Chains A and B, each alone.
Chain A
């Protein structure tokens, strides 16, 4: 199978405390450590495993500026043979539909049987995969936690639904699946792996190369616009315990006793 995996570079939640920048228009970007969106890492691993079973290639694609190259290469090192960076000033400020429009153009440029996205990224929208499927007129399944391939015929997939039950479906290819964490155990990528893909040429495509008119994407085309960031007022702020570790522990013990938390 020819598989395209969409990946996004995001501030690494494990490495950063997110705070709002001075004018509220953006988060504080200085000193942020970026990595691949957690969900996308599972998507790449799944694609590589499918390609190992069925033959075919995995291509990693990202809509980003030049900074995106590092993340695309890291994901390629998991076992993808190709990468693709979609970069243009006109892409900046895209909303979900803008991003999906750019990715759809790249998808139409190739011949893929399957496109994988993460279930959601850092702004929690969980939208790009479903939009991409609709733009391509392919079937879609979200929050996928199982993919089984048959030599011919539809894929057998599992969707994780509310409450943790699994919904088994058959889906025809080509299709788009958004991948849930936990579907597999993503392989570790070392420096050596990254070095191995360093010599692979990474094509960069802009709006013109993709045949996208600039007004339909980026800030110009966005119907959904973030005005500012803010910290919501605490509804009922937690009582914060302070002091030395000893003092804190004593207070917790008292509180737990009072609440019946120690039996």
Chain B
């Protein structure tokens, strides 16, 4: 394959993001033998570019005040100008990649390949990847015609991070290409997520409840169980959307990252956005009435049961044991 491969290196507080090294692995799986060029954009990013150069042979640095915040609307026209036609560009499938990727593909005339979880390789101009649909309930083999290049987003956590090497790649300063960039969307400010009454990121035992609980009044069953266990309650996103619990209880990519010893997942299907917030390899026990729920692929112990039947009995037994 002679198409050029690019990898977007996300970074914050002066260090490169895990996703960048995961993309490096993904690039090798999708395009074996390629030598991807890393793209580091921002303001005052010399150190980040040097760090990236330990893992990539070539790093393009886009260093300008305008990119102090990674605004996808500013970056897109810049990348359209810089990227070689027909190239393969890898982005993380997170809220930045979602913002940049689809429009970038359209603008480049490239094929958009979103949320890749595994690779079956490249045959001629057909890229074979694995995706998931229906929140992970089924997987799909997907074939993509990448003759005119591709913009590919990689699911965070799906590929292991490449070892950060000691290679010394070359940093190429392309900052002047960013002169005069403008967008019709301007970054104003960042409002940090709130920490609530209970800091679930510090709890060792978490009882996590999802949409399967059905009704707000049924939450009492979860709270009683949690109390009997001496645990804290957290939840998946639909519980927050319904305003049944306060925001700070949400676990996941757009919520908190927790590192408990024990995680009880009750009526949670196991989307990657939810499990992306469960770190530290806890003992994960999942209860779900659907035997095919994807959560069972990540659980240590699974129970196929209706929460309404199981929770009262379980709580009672734990209470008796005390």
Q: Which chain A residues have a beta carbon within 8 Å of chain B's beta carbons?
A: 11, 13-14, 17-20, 27, 96-97, 100, 119, 122-131, 133-135, 138-143, 154, 156, 158-172, 175, 178, 180-182, 185, 223-232, 234-235, 237-242, 245-246, 248-250, 252-253, 255-257, 259-263
Contacts and interface: CB of A to CB of B under 8 A. Distances in A.
A238 B300 contact: yes
B95 A143 contact: yes
A248 B76 CA distance: 54
Contact of A123 (B98, B131, B192): B131
B285 A169 contact: no
Interface string B186-197: 111111110000
A14 B145 CA distance: 34
B82 interface: no
Interface residues on B, range: 35 or more
Return the 6 tightest CB-CB contacts between A and B, nearest first. Answer: A130-B102, A263-B230, A134-B106, A164-B193, A261-B262, A134-B103
B279 interface: no
A253 B317 contact: yes
Nearest to B148: A223
Given A139-B73, A143-B98, A18 B309 contact: no
A114 B105 CA distance: 22
A167 B162 CA distance: 30
Given A164-B247, A239-B301, A226 B211 contact: no
Interface of B: 71-73, 93-96, 98-99, 101-107, 111-115, 130-135, 137-146, 183-193, 204-205, 211, 228-231, 237-238, 240-241, 243, 247, 250, 253-257, 261-262, 264, 269, 283, 285-286, 290, 292, 296-305, 309-310, 313-314, 317-318, 321
A257 B96 CA distance: 41
26 contacts: A18-B137, A18-B292, A20-B138, A96-B112, A96-B114, A126-B114, A127-B101, A131-B102, A131-B106, A133-B103, A162-B95, A170-B188, A171-B186, A224-B112, A226-B141, A229-B139, A230-B138, A231-B139, A238-B300, A240-B302, A240-B303, A240-B304, A259-B261, A261-B261, A262-B228, A263-B231
A128 B256 CA distance: 28
Contacts, number: 272
A57 to B, nearest CB: 24
A11 B135 CA distance: 12
A250 B290 contact: no
A223 B150 CA distance: 10
A185 to B, nearest CB: 7
Most chain B beta-carbon contacts within 10 A, residue among A14, A164, A229: A164
Contact of B143 (A140, A169, A182, A227): A227
A181 B106 contact: no
B237 A162 contact: no
A158 B193 CA distance: 13
A116 B56 CA distance: 39
A159 B95 contact: yes
A163 B195 CA distance: 12
Given A134-B103, A159-B99, A141 B185 contact: yes
Contacts of A159: 95, 99
Nearest to A19: B292
Contact of A122 (B115, B134, B190): B134
Nearest to B111: A223
Contact of A141 (B99, B250, B299): B99
Contacts of A235: 297
A14 B193 contact: no
A25 B102 CA distance: 26
B258 to A, nearest CB: 13
